[in-house]
A and B are shown apart, each in its own frame.
Chain A
Amino acid sequence: MSEPSAETTPQSILRLEGVRKHFGANEVLRGFDLEVAEHDVICLIGASGSGKSTLLRCINLLETVDDGAIWFDGRDICDPRVDADEVRREIGLVFQAYNLFPHLSALDNVTLAPRKLLGRSRADAEAEAHELLGRFGLADKARSHPDSLSGGQQQRVALVRALAMRPRLLMLDEITSALDPELVGEVLDAIKELKAEGMAILMATHEMAFARDVADRVAFLADGRVLEEGPPSAVLDAPAHDRTVTFLRRVGSGYSGPGPHIG
């Protein structure tokens, strides 16, 4: 990082090469290539079933890939000799349905992994958790159980839980899709703050306005591949592919440029 060239060519932390994954007869990923650099925010867009979630689960090693390589931190984490638990500590994943631990308070949800995996003392982990919860507007919710929190609050706790492990890469799987429209804003604001701090983020999303605003790059997924990739101004405002145009019109992204007519 201290080298001057780091400014112009930011270091890559994640690189996917030809990743394939199928479930039964359904080929979800068909040779998937993608690169995430330090401090990058990359938004994955695409129709339901285009492989966004599968991709994130493969990177988190929750699914085993059929072929290809996932380079993280200079090594191929698809190698079965790699300690998956160790990799997962460095890659945070936040789910659409929050998946908080219902039997634990917000505070315990956040401190469980740091205490068990990073060897932090309870006092130490809790101090940091309180600080993080406070930053995301949850200072008074530390003792609450997930069931007594709103969806937006639960999702912010889930975000804090992932951040408490101090991941090098944060992956967000459509984390606002299950929220009421009025609660989406509070979660997206939290992500903006993380971007400002330089967190590398790979997120699947349907929030086109947010992607335009925050993403460094947008990747449009179709047929298990990246069909089109580039800065939001290119992919969202001047898409090169008809498929992208069709998708953007369907999701009502506000795109009104040229492209195939949909009747």
Chain B
Amino acid sequence: MSDSAVSSGWSPSETQLARLAWRHRRARRRTWVALASTVAVLGLTAVVVVSSPGWTRVRETFFDWSEAKASAPEILDGFRTTIQMFLLAEVCILAVALLVAFIRVVPAAGLAPLKLVAIVYTDVARGTPTLLVIYLIGFGLPALQLQGIPTSPFVLGVIALTFAYGGYVAEVMRAGIESVHPSQWASGRSLGLSYTQTLRMVVLPQALRRVLPPLINDFASLQKDTALVAAIGVFEAFRAAQVESASTFNYTPFVVAAIGFIALTIPVARFTDWLALRAVRREQGATA
């Protein structure tokens, strides 16, 4: 703003200069208050924790540097499996969720039985504790001893995560599809596009753009829930930490694993922030 104003030979009035100076002072004052209060709160918390009677014990059990160094290689190795699992699960979840969302949205009379299945699935998947789903699929499915059922804990883990998260993501997708204004449907149909063509080429692209932030939020949650498949013996990061911890009776390996999980979700969180920022910029009229 000010750049273009200066180029047109304008210089701010006394009143405007006084306003700017006041705003500058206020901004500086607020920065100092925020900084001081942050330091005070964090410092106080640190003092309370460190001066507590059991701190030495806690530090030895959870934050032992040599334990951390010793367990890190195994845990890092486990993260390779973790990452493979959630990436594979995310692809499967997207496919399942889109299918379920379509079945629930499309108003075709012939789909009525499938709609019922889709509704029951979302209700069950969202209501069941993820750990139970993992046990049921990880131990229950192979126990049926049916031909062709996978027995690899890795594959069973991916199936369980897909089942558990497909319900959430399907509801996010459905909300996205239904958030697109009916006039967009009318617009597509009036040109002669079929229902499916309108859904695929007009409604879905707009819906997906809107649901990207909540979708990524669900995937961040999935990443850390991948640790739950340790329960059926998949040797991923959390399982590696369990093994390390069991040999020394020290919890530091879990903290190492936690740092790894946090490190994996931070890029996802920043990506979501960036998407939100871009959406705001678009609304403000800048051409992307």
A-side residues, CB < 8 A to B, are 57, 60, 62, 85-86, 88-89, 92-93, 95, 97, 99-103, 112-113, 116-117, 144-145, 147-148, 161-162, 165
B206/A102 in contact, CB under 8 A: yes
Tell which of B183, B193, B194, B288 touches A99, judged by Cβ atoms closer than 8 Å: B183
Q: Which residues in A have their C-beta under 8 angstroms from that of B53? A: none
Q: Return chain A residues, CB-CB under 8 Å to B197.
A: 116
Within 8 A of A (CB), among B252-288: 282-283, 285, 287-288
Q: Are the CB atoms of B183 and A103 closer together than 8 Å? A: no
Q: How many chain B residues touch the partner (CB < 8 A)?
A: 22
Sample of 14 further A-B pairs with CB below 8 A, known A99-B183, A101-B202, A165-B192: A88-B189, A88-B192, A92-B190, A95-B183, A95-B187, A99-B184, A102-B206, A113-B191, A116-B193, A117-B191, A117-B192, A147-B282, A147-B285, A162-B191
Among A95, A97, A100, A148, which residue has its beta carbon within 8 angstroms of that of B285? A148
Given contacts A85-B192, A113-B191, A162-B191, contact A95 B205 (CB under 8 A): no
Interface centre among A57, A86, A89, A101 (most CB of B within 10 A): A101
* A–B Cβ pairs within 8 angstroms, 18 of them: A57-B186, A60-B190, A85-B194, A88-B192, A95-B187, A95-B190, A99-B183, A99-B186, A101-B188, A101-B202, A101-B206, A103-B206, A112-B201, A113-B193, A117-B191, A144-B287, A148-B287, A165-B191
Q: B residues near A, CB below 8 A? A: 183-184, 186-194, 197, 201-202, 205-206, 209, 282-283, 285, 287-288
Q: Assuming A97-B183, A116-B201, is B190 touching A62 (CB within 8 A)? A: yes
What is the minimal beta-carbon distance from B206 to any residue of chain A, in angstroms? 5
Main secondary structure of the interface of B (DSSP, over half): helix
A89-B191 contact in complex given A95-B183, A99-B184, A144-B287, C-beta closer than 8 Å: yes
Q: Is the CB of A101 within 8 A of B192?
A: no
Whole-angstrom CA separation of A219 from B28 in the bound complex:
68
A97 to chain B: which residues have CB within 8 Å? 183
Contact A161 B285 (CB under 8 A): no
Q: Is the CB of B191 within 8 A of A161?
A: yes
Q: Which residues of B contact A162 (CB under 8 A)?
A: 191
Q: Is the CB of A93 within 8 A of B190?
A: yes
B197, closest chain A residue (CB): A116
- CB closest chain-B residue, reference A158: B187
CB distance from A171 to the nearest CB of B (A): 9
Cβ contact within 8 Å between B186 and A95: yes
A7 to B209, CA, bound (A): 53
C-alpha gap A251/B91 in the complex (Å): 58
Q: How far is the CA of A54 from the CA of B27 in the complex (A)?
A: 56
| Assembly CA distance A101 to B201 (angstroms) | 10
Please give me the residue from chain B that is nearest to A143 by CB atom: B287
B31 CB, nearest partner CB in chain A, Å: 35
- Closest B residue to A112 by CB, please name it: B201
Chain B residues with CB under 8 Å of A103's CB are: 205-206, 209
Closest residue of chain A to B192 (Cβ to Cβ) is: A89
A144 to B192, CA, bound (A): 24
- Contact flag A86-B206 (CB < 8 Å), given A101-B184, A148-B285, A148-B287: no
